[in-house]
Amino acid sequence: MKKYYLLKITCWAFLIMSTFSCSSDLNFDQVNDLKLQPVVEGNLSYFNVAATDFLADNGSEYNLVLDSQDFDIFRDRYLNDYLQKADLHFEITNTINRAFKADILLLNDNDQVLYTISFDIPASAGTPTVISKMEIFENAKLQLLKNTRKLQFALTVKSGPAFNSNSTGNLILRSSATVYLEIE
């Protein structure tokens, strides 16, 4: 008799528990919808060239200075896949009393120019000249950025008062990138 009593209690306990127990509708497949969309801010480029940097040792003037840098971030297969859009922000400040043309060339592996970002920079007349520009790379244009492996910077000095060792002022580029990624 006692055994039945025990069994009864046990059964009741579990019956009650299972009756009250329930679970809301869960769907674990939702993990497949996981999509990370981070927006990353980063430095793109910076230079600060003094007026005297355009003077050669013999006192003559360079009217074109060039430098190339590797740009191989998108060599990374994953980053290349994840990249959806990139906004490149540029800000050039000129305190030199000469006008410039600045070009940033996007080159591929074979040094072919894929895209050129150009700036016409007026001379400074006592106050700094500031030029801002934003280049948005998305859709077809984005592919150009993804194929870029090198950046070439070219500064062309336009005509104006000749430089000498007492020339003052600087040409400064500050540039950043806003990179939109999508990781699925």
Partner 1 sequence: MRKIIAFFFVLISLNCFSQNKQLLYNFTSVPQSLMTNPGADFKYKYYFGVPLLSGFSFKTASSGFSAYDLFANDGVDFNQKLRNVVYSTSRRDHAAVNEQIEILNGGIKLGDWLDNKGYLSFGLYQEFDFFSYMPKDLAILALDGNQNYIGKSFNLADLSVKAEAVTVLHLGYHKNLSEKLIVGARGKVYFSGFNATSTQNSGSIITTNSNTTVYNQIINSNLELKTSGVSKYTTDEYDGDVAGDIQKQMLFGGDLGLGFDLGFTYYPKKNTQITASILDVGFVNHSKDVENYTLKGYYNYQGINPDFSNTDDPESIYDDFREAIPLDTLYTKYTTWRPVKLNASYQYSFGTATDEDCVCIAGEKSYKNAVGAQLFVMSTPRTPITALTGFYRRNVSDKLHLKATYTLDSYSYTNIGLGLSADIGKFNMYFMADNLLEYRDVSKANSLSFQFGFNFIFKDSNEPPYSQ
Q: By the criterion CB under 8 A, which residues form the site for partner 1?
A: 2-3, 6-7, 9-10, 13-14, 17, 20-28, 30-49, 53, 65-73, 75-76, 78, 89, 150-151, 153, 155, 174-176, 178-179, 181, 183-184
Smallest gap from residue 95 Cβ to partner 1 (A): 15
Tell me whether residue 120 or residue 182 sits nearer to partner 1 (CB atom): 182
DSSP secondary structure, 128-167, as one string = -EEEEEEEEEEHHHHHHHHH--EEEEEEEEPSSSPP-TT-
In angstroms, the CA 72 to CA 125 distance is: 39
Smallest gap from residue 46 Cβ to partner 1 (A): 4
Tell me whether residue 73 or residue 125 sits nearer to partner 1 (CB atom): 73
Tell me whether residue 71 or residue 125 sits nearer to partner 1 (CB atom): 71
Smallest gap from residue 142 Cβ to partner 1 (A): 17
* Token pair for 164: 């000498």
Smallest gap from residue 99 Cβ to partner 1 (A): 18
- In terms of Cα–Cα distance, which of 178, 174, 183, 182 is closest to 42? 178
Phi, psi for residue 24 in degrees, rounded to 5: -65, 160
